[in-house]
Each structure stands twice: as C-alpha cells, then as structure tokens.
Chains A and B, each alone.
Chain A
Amino acid sequence: MDAKEIIARRVAQLLKDGDVVNLGIGLPTMVANYIPEDIDITFQSENGFLGLGPAPNKGEEDWELVNAGGMPSSIIPGGMFFDSATSFGIIRGGHVDATVLGAMEVDEKGNLANWKIPGKMVPGMGGAMDLVVGANTVIIAMVHTQKGQPKILKQCTLPLTAKEQVNYIVTEMALLKVTNEGLLLEELGPDATVEDVIAATEAKVIVSPNVKRYNFA
C-alpha cells in the first residue's frame, strides 16, 4: 500500500454514515474509493451539485457534468445541481459535515496554508477559504513531509487559507488531532513509530496515552 492509499483509507474511516462531504482535488479525491459499503456519504462538488459519483469510463464523458477540477464526473440518483451562490450557501451555512483538503503547511493551532507561495505560485484560493471556514470538520490529507522537510509546523509561514479551522491531520505516518493544547498523536501509520512522527514534525506532538495503529482490517 503506498502512502496516498494509506492516507485515503484512514480519512475514509473518519467519515460517518449520512455525512455530506466535500473532497478537494488530488489525493483527497481518492478518499471516495475507500468508503465502506454500509456507509452512505453525499459528496458535494462546489461547482454546483450534491451527489458526486465516480469518474465516468473513457468514452462516456459528459462535458456538461464536471467536478470542481473541471474534469468529467457523474451524479448519483437523488443528487441535484445548483448555482454557485447556493453551493457556497450550503458550504458556509454549516451544511457540509466534513471537507478533506491537501496542504502546503499546517500548524499546531490548526492554521492552514494551501493557496499561495508568494512570488512563485499564486493560483488563487478557489473555494478553499469558504470550505475550511464553513465545513463542520476540516480534515487535512497529505504526505507527512515535503522532500524530507516538515509541513506540520509550529506556525505556518505561507499566507493562510484559514485561521484555526483544521480538526485532523492525516498522513501516511500519523493521525493528529488539533486540540487547544496542541497536536495530539492518536494513531500511527502502518510503518511509523512515535519517534519517527516527532522527528518528521516541527510542531510539538503530544502523544496520546493510548496511541493506536491504523487498522484497515
């Protein structure tokens, strides 16, 4: 199992039956592949629909039905389309239970930076600022380090996407919960030790007295 699959599988376990969930582009999208069959999740796509389904087969693409990455998508029975104001009303209004996003940096206060590297890359925030503020639970899904450098910091250095909104950080090494005291290490990835996680994390890690290991059984 590669790092991304580990992350996607663990994030999927955080979602609850009946949740409305918005998945970001890239790794977060993979989470949809690992939702247990007995769990009913409604996926929201911020470009304007509820009931996001799997990507269509090659040759069956409908370019009037795209996801928030602009790629052909599908809608499940019971879904619906709406305009962008309604879409973000759903998001800011607290009707999205969880959002899963990637990060360039995240810190021990739950600050998130994922939209801009000044002078290098300024793609824009898209819907991320609204999602992180509006969703009831914010889950960061990312590989633990970037070229060996920590991404989980004491304090973000890049421009923020949102202030103190992150609830969970899930990596291939650890599941960290953002608490008032700091980052609580609740679970370890398949191959990581507590020492590995502390070494790969710049932020202070509080080790839970009953740290578990990811369980994909």
Chain B
Amino acid sequence: MINKIISVKEAAEKVQDGMTIMVGGFLANGTPENLIDAIVENNVKNLTLICNDTGFPDKGVGKMVVNKQFKKIIASHVGTNPETANQMNSGETEVVLTPQGTLAEKVRCGGNGLGGFYTPTGIGTEAEIGKEKKIIDGQEYIFELPLKADVALLKASVVDKKGNMVFAKTTKNFNPLMATAAKVVIVEADKIVEVGEIDQDRVMCSGIFVDYIVGGDK
C-alpha cells in the first residue's frame, strides 16, 4: 500500500507560486488550519483560491488573504474578512463572486467529468453577465463552466491510511466535492486510523481521490 502520510511541512510544499488551490470549509468550519498555517509560512504568492468564502483574518484561508498570497479569489462570500475587500478595492486581488450553489456545482462538475451546467440562479442579476443563456421548458438558465485546481486542501475528522474520509457534522460542506476536482489532494485529519477501521457504510468520500494525508494527532 502506498504510504500517503506525510508531514504538514512536506504537504505545504506541494503548493507552489501561481497555482490554483481549492480549500474546503464554510466560514473556516471544515478548513485544514495546520496546512493553511504552513502555507502562510512558506509565503508562496500569486495563487488563485477557490473556496466558499475568505474566512476571517485570523481563521481559515483568511490568514492567507492577510498574507497577500492570492492574485485571484473565487468565492461566494467575502464579507467576514475585511482584508479581502481592501485588496479587491486596491486592485491587488481579483475577486469573482459566485453564488454558493453555483460554486459548489462548478466544483462538482470539475471533478465529475462534466463540461458545465445550466442553472436558473442569477438570472436578471450581475451573475449572468457574459454567460450563455438558454430557455429550457419555458425557464431561463445560465450556462456555468466547471472548476478544477492544482491542489485541494481538505479537512476530515477521521481518515484511514488509504485516505477514506469521514467528515464531522457541518465540516463536510465543500470537502468531498473538492476531493474530486484537483490534481493533488491533501487531507488534514483529526484522527488517522487503519484501513478497515471505518465501516464501509460510514465512508463519506473515497480514498481513491486522496494523494496525501497529514495530521491525525487530535
């Protein structure tokens, strides 16, 4: 069996200047904080972020925003981190605000081999600007493209050595979607267990998507 367990430091080095990263979590709930801290320390720059939101200045991906590591941010909400607005207003960072359901589905499409999807969300709003529209059964839809990343950074509560994951409660959010949509997938685990210790019925996302596992010391 391939050993997927590496150190946080080794994992953080997988993220290089200019890459596109996906980070799991919703307002930092379900975000791999130790990986984020290590990437802040590495100080890689010009990254593109795909995440539900930009967390808080001292929590989640917000710490990377404060450290000015992103040239572009794709998120549904940035209101809890004033630093994102500062960088957006100064022109340092491009922020692409995307409806949350559309963002989730774009990631899902990216990981599921689909070329995009039609959604009614955003019709008649700024979200439709520049996008193809189509009427299906009398209803108007916007065409949205998939999203993929170089690296996905996930958080799970229990992970076995093959990378099979269990997410606690509301920490699931974008994590299992992003697991499928990046070239390199790293999961930060609260607890790492032997293969077989997680009942197959309880596995929420397969280890086939996971390249590296860190943590396990909670």
- Tell which of A62, A70, A75, A125 touches B76, judged by Cβ atoms closer than 8 Å: A125
Cα A87 to Cα B53 in complex, Å, equals 16
B217 at the interface (CB under 8 A from A): no
Asked if A161 and B27 make an inter-chain contact with CB atoms under 8 angstroms apart, the answer reads: no
Name the segment of B11-19, B63-71, B172-180 touching the other chain. B172-180
A81 at the interface (CB under 8 A from B): yes
B114 to chain A, nearest CB (A): 12
Asked if B104 and A65 make an inter-chain contact with CB atoms under 8 angstroms apart, the answer reads: no
Q: A92 to chain B: which residues have CB within 8 Å?
A: 101, 119-121
Asked if A129 and B29 make an inter-chain contact with CB atoms under 8 angstroms apart, the answer reads: no
Name the segment of A32-40, A41-49, A194-202 touching the other chain. A41-49
Asked if A159 and B99 make an inter-chain contact with CB atoms under 8 angstroms apart, the answer reads: no
Closest to B52 in A: A84
Asked if B78 and A48 make an inter-chain contact with CB atoms under 8 angstroms apart, the answer reads: no
B126 at the interface (CB under 8 A from A): yes
Task: List CB contacts (< 8 Å) of A110-150 with chain B.
Answer: 111, 116, 121-130, 133-134
B115 at the interface (CB under 8 A from A): no
B7 at the interface (CB under 8 A from A): no
Q: B104 to chain A: which residues have CB within 8 Å?
A: 83-85, 87-88
Cα A156 to Cα B145 in complex, Å, equals 29
- Tell which of A63, A64, A85, A162 touches B177, judged by Cβ atoms closer than 8 Å: A85
B26 at the interface (CB under 8 A from A): yes
Q: A48 to chain B: which residues have CB within 8 Å?
A: 26, 170, 172-173
A160 at the interface (CB under 8 A from B): yes
Encoded as 1 (CB less than 8 Å from any B CB) or 0, chain A from 164 to 190 comes to 100000000000000000000000000
B208 at the interface (CB under 8 A from A): no
Asked if A134 meets B175 with Cβ closer than 8 Å, knowing A75-B169, A88-B101, A91-B101, the reply is no
Cα A87 to Cα B52 in complex, Å, equals 13
Asked if A164 and B169 make an inter-chain contact with CB atoms under 8 angstroms apart, the answer reads: no
- Tell which of B97, B100, B119, B120 touches A127, judged by Cβ atoms closer than 8 Å: B100
- Tell which of A82, A122, A133 touches B123, judged by Cβ atoms closer than 8 Å: A133
Q: B171 to chain A: which residues have CB within 8 Å?
A: 64
Q: A212 to chain B: which residues have CB within 8 Å?
A: none
Encoded as 1 (CB less than 8 Å from any A CB) or 0, chain B from 143 to 182 comes to 0000000000000010000000001111111111100000
Cα A122 to Cα B54 in complex, Å, equals 13
Closest to A163 in B: B124
- Tell which of B78, B121, B157, B173 touches A133, judged by Cβ atoms closer than 8 Å: B121
Q: B99 to chain A: which residues have CB within 8 Å?
A: 125, 127-130
A203 at the interface (CB under 8 A from B): no
Asked if A47 meets B101 with Cβ closer than 8 Å, knowing A92-B120, A161-B125, the reply is no
Encoded as 1 (CB less than 8 Å from any A CB) or 0, chain B from 19 to 43 comes to 0000000111100000000000000
A66 at the interface (CB under 8 A from B): yes
Q: B101 to chain A: which residues have CB within 8 Å?
A: 84, 87-88, 91-92, 127, 129-130, 134
Cα A85 to Cα B144 in complex, Å, equals 14
Binding site for B on A (CB under 8 A): 45-49, 62-66, 68-70, 73, 75, 81-85, 87-88, 91-92, 111, 116, 121-130, 133-134, 159-164
Q: List 26 A-B contacts (CB under 8 A).
A: A47-B173, A49-B169, A49-B170, A64-B170, A65-B170, A70-B27, A70-B80, A81-B172, A83-B173, A83-B175, A84-B101, A84-B104, A84-B173, A87-B104, A88-B101, A88-B105, A92-B101, A116-B126, A122-B85, A125-B97, A133-B120, A134-B101, A134-B120, A159-B125, A162-B123, A162-B124
Additional A-B contact list (14), CB under 8 Å, known A48-B26, A84-B52, A88-B105: A47-B170, A47-B173, A64-B157, A64-B170, A70-B28, A81-B169, A85-B108, A88-B101, A122-B88, A125-B76, A129-B127, A130-B121, A163-B123, A164-B124
